[in-house]
Amino acid sequence: LIMNAFEKNSSLDYLSIFPKYSSPLQAYVPIITGCNNFCSYCVVPYARGREISRPAEEIISEVNQLAKKNYKTITLLGQNVNSYQYTFSQPNYFLDTKIKVKNINFPKLLDYLASNYPTINFEFISSHPKDFSDELIKIIAQHKNISREIHLPLQSGSDDILRAMNRPYTQKHYLTLIKKILALIPKASFTTDVIVGFPGETEEQFQETVAVFKKVHYNEAYINKYSPRPGTAAYSLGNPISWEEKKKRALILRKLVHPLH
């Protein structure tokens, strides 16, 4: 309990630090830290702790200061921004509604920011497919100042590998989500994260990832060659796929995204 309290206080301190910006036009605003997903390859829940959402009032205050300085683009940051949830200490007339609200989720926060700061272009990263809700899709569609480039990590196109990664969605769910987004936001484009050479990934399973790349036509992909991380669930699986094979698979995916390179 003492450690949990320490982690929570440390995370809140981190979220409330007002950063220095390297660009006079673009700023990054953290809205959530930590992660509750425990993907089998990832150290983030152990290194950063569980998810803690930054108070909405702090986020709005920082965005307001940036707006006064004429920033044009703000990127909302978190390991999984669409799991953002904040509970006010008292019911609040948030979003200028006539009804007091006690809780606010990511779509409502994004709606508020895009509505109240129409001259700022809002981006967000990163998202988890399991939490990318219909409500969020509708909010993006409603506001022209929310970026149409959506970062949606795939990690693998194989259902078996996704299960081993503890990623609770399937290839079908992922592609259905892409179709839902495009139905409401026809100009949407996508970037992604993917891991090649996860322990046990066969050539056939890798080709399932290739198939998703061919269907989605990503603008960019951040392709990671699997390496074991001590303390993670996948660490016990070893590292049976050779570095050369991982390089080969990564190059195949890279050429699908950048065929002329």
Q: Pick from 198, 204, 196, 209: which is nearest to 240 by CA?
A: 198
pLDDT in tens, 143-170: 999 999 999 999 999 999 999 999 999 9
What would the mean pLDDT of 191-215 be, rounded to a whole number? 98
pLDDT category, 2, cuts 50, 70, 90?
A: very low
Asked if pLDDT for residue 64 goes beyond 50, the answer is yes
Instruction: Provide φ and ψ at 27, rounded to 5°.
Output: -135, 155
Q: List the domains of the chain with CATH numbers.
A: 1-147 (3.30.750.210), 149-261 (3.30.750.200)
CB atoms near residue 59 (< 10 Å):
23
DSSP single-letter state for residue 120: S
Asked if pLDDT for residue 133 goes beyond 90, the answer is yes
Which one-letter amino acid corresponds to residue 206? F
Q: Are strands 149-151 and 32-33 parallel, antiparallel or unpaired?
A: unpaired
Asked if pLDDT for residue 27 goes beyond 90, the answer is yes
What pairs with residue 190 in β-bridges?
A: 150
- Work out the burial of residue 201: count CB atoms within 10 Å of its CB; fewer than 13 is exposed, 13-18 middle, 19 or more buried: buried
What b-and-e string marks burial along 27-44, b requiring 16 or more CB atoms within 10 Å of the CB? bebbbbbbbebebbbbeb
CB 12 within 8 A of CB 36: no
